[in-house]
Structure 1
Amino acid sequence: MSQLYDLSEISQQNGKGGKPCWLIIKGNVYDVTKFLDDHPGGGELLLEYGGKDATKAFNKAGHSSDAEKDLKQYKIGEVNPTGSAAAPIQTQPKSNANASSPTSTDLPAASPMEAKKSSGFCCC
């Protein structure tokens, strides 16, 4: 079984201030700190996604099958699907004249990762 990491823990590993640079790709967690200098697109691209889900950007970049194989050596675990930071994504309620509007206390707070996901976050 792989090590499980909560989104809150992953988000802290953003590559800034001497911290490691972790990425989420397809539900897996990768420590790419040692790959920053060797990344063909530059380490800045990886740092842009430090502590975040880089799945869409990884897929859009059109990585070769060799790149996908090489990625495996950096895998440190998986995202914990039941972690405390995995709150449901908020959706805008549909307008209904008979229903009362929910207040801010009725809705769960979204994690920073979910806020990025719902905003159309993309690197390219």
Structure 2
Amino acid sequence: MSDVKVFTLEDLQAHKSREDLYLLISGKVYDATQFLDEHPGGDEVLLEEAGRDGTEAFEDVGHSDEARDMLVKMFVGNFDGPTKSSAKASAGGSTTTSSSSGTNPLLFVVLAGVGAFLAWRLFLA
């Protein structure tokens, strides 16, 4: 059995600065500190989700398989506590089934446009 570190909500919230940023995605904790400057959507997106459950935001954007593979290198441990998805389930949640797989194409287009605009402005600066 491996010695995987287990994080609590307090542990997670202690790592939400630009110099030390952990993200919770699907019950797993990732150290995204070194990825801040490389994130295509900008560092603000990651900083906004730091210290809390960012699963919904991660899934809504529709990340590529390559992005999901990058998470493996950033993994630091598992989360021990309620997540947004477990809170919805315990609160009764919706019993309807959506035909989408949690992605919102319009949101992706908007974020891609914002990213392109910021990159364009960066190159002109």
The TM-score normalised by the length of structure 1 is 0.62
* CA shift digits 1:24-51 (9 cap, x unpaired): 0000000100000000000110000111
RMSD (Å), alpha carbons = 2.4
The runs of at least 4 aligned residues of structure 1 exceeding 2 Å deviation read 88-91
Give, in whole Å, the separation in 1 of the partners of 2:53 and 2:13.
9
Which blocks of at least 5 consecutive residues in structure 1 are unaligned? 83-87, 92-123
**Structure 2 residue 32 is matched with structure 1 residue 27:** no
Give, in whole Å, the separation in 2 of the partners of 1:72 and 1:60.
20
Give, in whole Å, the separation in 2 of the partners of 1:54 and 1:60.
10
| Aligned-pair CA distance for 1:12 | 1.7
Question: In structure 1, what is the equivalent of residue 78 of structure 2?
Answer: 78
| Structure with greater helix share of residues | 2
Question: In structure 1, what is the equivalent of residue 40 of structure 2?
Answer: 40
The TM-score normalised by the length of structure 2 is 0.61
Aligned pair count reads 85
Q: Which amino acid aligns with 1:11?
A: Q
Q: Which amino acid aligns with 1:13?
A: H
**Is 2:31–2:76's contact at 8 Å kept on the other side of the alignment?**
yes
Question: In structure 1, what is the equivalent of residue 53 of structure 2?
Answer: 53
| Aligned-pair CA distance for 1:76 | 0.3
Give, in whole Å, the separation in 1 of the partners of 2:72 and 2:52.
18
Give, in whole Å, the separation in 1 of the partners of 2:74 and 2:51.
14
Please give the secondary structure, in 2, of the residue aligned with 1:40.
coil
